[in-house]
Amino acid sequence: MEKLLNKLLRFPKIMMLVLLVISVAFFMVMKQNSRMETDLDEYMPQDHSAFVYSDKMEEVFDIKAGIIIAIENEDNIYHTETLQKIKDLTKALGKMEEIDKSAVTSLYTADNIIGTEDGMDIKAFYKSVPKTAENLSELQNKVRSNEMVFGRLVSEDETVSIIIAEIEDDVFTQEFYNEILTLVKSFEGKEKLYVAGSPIVEGTMALLGPKDMKKMVPIVLLVILIVLLFVMKSIKNTFFTLLVVVFSVVWAFGLMAAFKIPIYAVSTMIPVMLIAIGVADGIHLYSHLDLFLQKNPNATKKEAVNDMIKGMWKPVVMTSVTTSVGFFSLLTSEVYPIKYFGLFTAFGVSAAMLFSLLLIPAAILVFGFTKRKPVSDKNIKNKIPFAYKFANGVIKYKTITLFLTIALVSVSLFGITKVWINSSFLDKFEKNSDIVLTDRFINDHFGGTSMLNVILEADEKGKMKSPEVLSLMSEMQQTIDSKLVVVGNTFSLSDYLKRMNKVMHEDKEEFDIIPDTQELIAQYLLLYEMSGDPDNLWKVVDYNYKIANITIQLKSDNSKAINSAIAEVENFRDDFQKLGVKINFAGSGYKALVFTDLILEGQIKSLVMSLFIIIILLSFMFKNFRAGLIGSVPIVTTAVIGFGVMGLLNIPLSTTTALISSIAIGIGIDYAVHFIERYKIYAKTTGDKQKTMEGTMHHSGRAIIFNAIVVIAGFMVLLFSVFPPNRSLGALVSLNMFTSFLGTVTIMYLLLYKTNLFFGKK
């Protein structure tokens, strides 16, 4: 490898030009083909059994994503102007190319099931907007007496009404998103209008994601520029170190664009990640160069570069390989954004290694190096006493170090038991952001904006007309409604039957129950099919009355809320089983829950796999199995502390924060590799343990602390992100880098000392 690098660097100017041309080519590909993925369904593995089944049921019952528009009149909605706006906005939505007219539901289009002298009839609540007080009062009474509308399309305080426009997954675009917002804004006046729903969440993420990335990258570059200037004390060294990370980011996104891989929300972390990680090699290379020049002030550029490559190519390659392994381990995840994040971050790390070993030496050969004051061997201890004092101090106070480590790990293990997974996409936004406040407003007035679909599958046709099945269905809904505060509403075929039974008995409350016989149920359903719109019925039951769909509206989209609803449904599984009916789940809420389970499963797999591979790699690199085990101690400790802090501070595991274990391993292992490699070199050259410990702390310890400062500063920039999970990630990774650095120079250092690694037995 050393010979190959020296051959490639024989013509440094040509090498720099080649790297620049390739980088420009990647940049052009990135500029032309990059796109942001806004469809949350695309974040999930489509071939997973849960998603396949859910998609099938969504097709059976025509379950689509809904845009929810709320119209608020603080007096009440029963004003001519307000009702006119509901009608006009409903029609305007129906005329939009992306929305099917029949897929818009509002008070203007809703069916009102009523009893007549001849039986049952389905009528609109209003066709022409009522203008007189008498007609307005009549409409109000109609709504109040209809449980299928009151509390669902009109709030119970009667100040808000909603319009739901269902759309296909593939029609939502940024232009359509802006068109919806513009349309809604045009109807504002005395009434306040609010827009919510999963498509709006997707649209807002798509809008804010690129903006956040554009804001973050310059800030990260500026912060790291300042920190690099501080630790390197050289504009030239800082410039080429930054150039390495800029090129690595361009290559990573260029390759993504070349393979038509979209940019997911978590992908916006890649630039920050590579900028913070990519500077490590440059710091270690220039640190080694400075120490060489202090001893050899008259060395030529070629001699300096040859020594730098000879002394540092191996640890640079080793750290890049182990870091890449940490990110490659994310390929075990079934979650596409995390899988691609790991793949292209690993590629970016490899690119940064290539630039560090080619671009930085080439730049030194072309532009020279920054002169340093010479320091003699005799004066090293006087000039830099802290490294030696620290090295000896850790040994002296080893009992305290060990005790504190055990205490921290013990507390962290307790914290890990409190870690929970959050499937919420809304929690990615600020709590006081418009989209969150709008969602909260609609949840406060209605059943909820998040949906969980409970699918009942019978073993025979017509089973859903059974009074026993329908009564159990109704009982389950009532139990869920009464027990769970997070559940706003439930809706199913039983609601239709109870409404029909009630209106056929002069609206008497005692008949708001499931009819006694299957024959009567069949008659009611036939009447509805003849007088109403059967398409509404097919949203809650299939044509053969063999499969039923119960919709549970939730006031939160996080995993705790969804799990609590599922737990209550599961209590009825045996009762339904006795009637020959199976319970399954579908819909966006359930898919989000499965999605989070896959995140946890993927993280466990990647954590175990990456640790195993890294131990093997380190053992192979240092030709000693004990070195592999010792090198893994800081990152295992760091991972435990990181997850422990998450549990203790109630920070949930999400698609973003789930990355901390891979980042902790990927970056943290660098410190261990550099430290052990330098320790091995000093052990062989000096044969003295005391000099080896002090020399390693002075050489690698110095570069490691510089590296840690830069990485921590880079990730702390994420605290300025508009997305709370990104801020949590920034704080957690910064903490991980600090604990990883501290673990390397304390607990791992002690293990090297006590095991006599590379010195043989006493």
Residue 448 confidence (pLDDT): 79
Contact 596, 423 (CB under 8 A): yes
Residue 381 confidence (pLDDT): 46
Residue 755 confidence (pLDDT): 87
Please state, rounded to an integer, the average pLDDT across all residues of the chain: 85
Q: How confident is the model at residue 38 (pLDDT cuts 50, 70, 90)?
A: low
pLDDT at 610 over 90: no
Run of H or E including 548: strand 547-554
Residue 170 confidence (pLDDT): 66
> What is the tens place of the pLDDT at every residue in 539-552?
899 989 999 999 99
Burial of 312 (0-12, 13-18, 19+ CB in 10 A): buried
Of 136-150, 604-618, 740-754, the least confident: 604-618
Residues in the chain: 762
Tell me the C-alpha distance between 558 and 136, whole Å: 40
Do 148 and 175 belong to one domain? Answer: yes
Residue 497 confidence (pLDDT): 92
- C-alpha distances in Å from residue 691, one per residue of 311, 516, 551, 626, 720: 18, 91, 71, 21, 44
Do 626 and 760 belong to one domain? Answer: yes
Question: In sequence order, what are the residues at sequence separation of 6 or more whose Cβ sits closer than 8 angstroms to the Cβ of residue 567?
Answer: none
Residue 415 confidence (pLDDT): 92
Looking at per-residue confidence, does 139 or 611 come out higher?
139
Q: How confident is the model at residue 26 (pLDDT cuts 50, 70, 90)?
A: very high
Do 17 and 153 belong to one domain? Answer: no
Q: How confident is the model at residue 456 (pLDDT cuts 50, 70, 90)?
A: very high
Do 373 and 336 belong to one domain? Answer: yes
Q: How confident is the model at residue 55 (pLDDT cuts 50, 70, 90)?
A: confident
Residue 224 confidence (pLDDT): 82
Asked if residue 296 belongs to a domain, the reply is yes
Do 177 and 311 belong to one domain? Answer: no
Residue 41 confidence (pLDDT): 65
Q: How confident is the model at residue 159 (pLDDT cuts 50, 70, 90)?
A: very high
Contact 426, 202 (CB under 8 A): no
pLDDT at 761 over 60: no
Of 21-35, 172-186, 470-484, the least confident: 172-186
Asked if residue 229 belongs to a domain, the reply is no
User: Among residues of the chain, what percentage have pLDDT more than 90?
Assistant: 28
Asked if residue 373 belongs to a domain, the reply is yes
Q: How confident is the model at residue 137 (pLDDT cuts 50, 70, 90)?
A: very high
pLDDT at 612 over 70: yes
Do 351 and 242 belong to one domain? Answer: yes
556 three-class SS: coil
Do 59 and 196 belong to one domain? Answer: yes
Do 1 and 94 belong to one domain? Answer: no
Tell me the C-alpha distance between 314 and 354, whole Å: 13
Q: How confident is the model at residue 380 (pLDDT cuts 50, 70, 90)?
A: very low
pLDDT at 760 over 70: no
Do 558 and 634 belong to one domain? Answer: no
| Segments forming the whole domain that contains residue 757 | 384-417+622-762
Sheet holding 192-196, edge to edge: 104-105, 160-167, 65-72, 192-196
Q: How confident is the model at residue 243 (pLDDT cuts 50, 70, 90)?
A: very high
Average pLDDT over residues 663-683: 82
User: How many other CB atoms are there within 10 angstroms of residue 594's CB atom?
Assistant: 20
Asked if residue 693 belongs to a domain, the reply is yes
> What is the tens place of the pLDDT at every residue in 699-741?
787 778 887 888 888 788 888 888 888 888 888 888 888 898 8
Number of domains in the chain: 4
User: Among residues of the chain, what percentage have pLDDT more than 70?
Assistant: 95
Average pLDDT over residues 248-273: 86
3-state secondary structure 349-406: HHHHHHHHHHHHHHHHHHHCCCCCCCCCHHHHHHHCHHHHHHHHHHHHCHHHHHHHHH
Asked if residue 633 belongs to a domain, the reply is yes
> What is the tens place of the pLDDT at every residue in 118-136?
777 888 898 899 999 999 9
Average pLDDT over residues 553-577: 90
Of 378-392, 511-525, 673-687, the least confident: 378-392
Asked if residue 431 belongs to a domain, the reply is no
pLDDT at 762 over 60: no
Contact 201, 592 (CB under 8 A): no
Residue 375 confidence (pLDDT): 55
Which of 591, 612, 634 is where one domain is finished? 591
Which of 202, 221, 244 is where one domain is finished? 202
Do 456 and 505 belong to one domain? Answer: yes
Q: How confident is the model at residue 372 (pLDDT cuts 50, 70, 90)?
A: low
User: What is the separation of C-alpha 99 from the centre of its chain, rounded to a whole number of angstroms?
Assistant: 29
Asked if residue 332 belongs to a domain, the reply is yes
pLDDT at 245 over 70: yes
Asked if residue 432 belongs to a domain, the reply is no
Q: E strands, 32-108, where?
A: 65-72, 104-105
Average pLDDT over residues 216-220: 80
Which of 159, 187, 202 is where one domain is finished? 202
User: What is the separation of C-alpha 190 from the centre of its chain, rounded to a whole number of angstroms?
Assistant: 39
CATH code, domain carrying 390: 1.20.1640.10
Do 155 and 269 belong to one domain? Answer: no
Q: How confident is the model at residue 399 (pLDDT cuts 50, 70, 90)?
A: confident
- C-alpha distances in Å from residue 42, one per residue of 137, 258, 271, 556: 47, 19, 22, 21
Tell me the C-alpha distance between 167 and 671, whole Å: 51
Do 388 and 372 belong to one domain? Answer: no
